[in-house]
Amino acid sequence: SIGGFDLHDNLNTQHPGLLTQIGDGVKSFFSALSEIGMEQSVTLFTQSDFARTLTSNGDGSDHAWGGVQLVAGGAVRGGRVYGQYPLIEIGAAQDVGAGRLIPTTSADQYAATLANWFGVQDSDLGKIAPSLANFTQRNLGFMV
């Protein structure tokens, strides 16, 4: 965890540097894996417990739902967006107010997909991903 993403102010100043820090970290991580021949054997997954509103609170934004997850590695079917990308617009169908978009894909669906890849049986997924029963698609199909 690198922290520091709970930006209620100075968002335009601080957020680009934080995203660069993630990008540089992932690049360094996979470069190191490549040096030891393990880049095809490791899967990286990022997740945040919240996102940000589309509207400003003056100098930043407030907590919201929905966000972007990153999955990378040799066993990942990459180069795609998994889930339904929402219309990023104030007042759109998925905006429940103040630019808080309802996510279309649950973090539990990502967790279940990874758990299946690790060998967890479908019957045990509810123990790992308790909200999974609320979604028709349990496995997002991003793992080979």
Q: Say what the pLDDT of residue 62 is.
A: 87
Q: Say what the pLDDT of residue 111 is.
A: 93
pLDDT tens-digit series, residues 59-82 = 778 888 878 788 999 999 999 988
Q: pTM score, two decimals? A: 0.82
Where do we find the tokens 């990874």? 114
Residue 101 to residue 86: CA distance in whole angstroms: 8
Q: Say what the pLDDT of residue 1 is.
A: 63
Is the separation of the CB atoms in 89 and 95 below 8 Å? yes
Residue 113 to residue 133: CA distance in whole angstroms: 14
pLDDT above 90: residue 123: yes
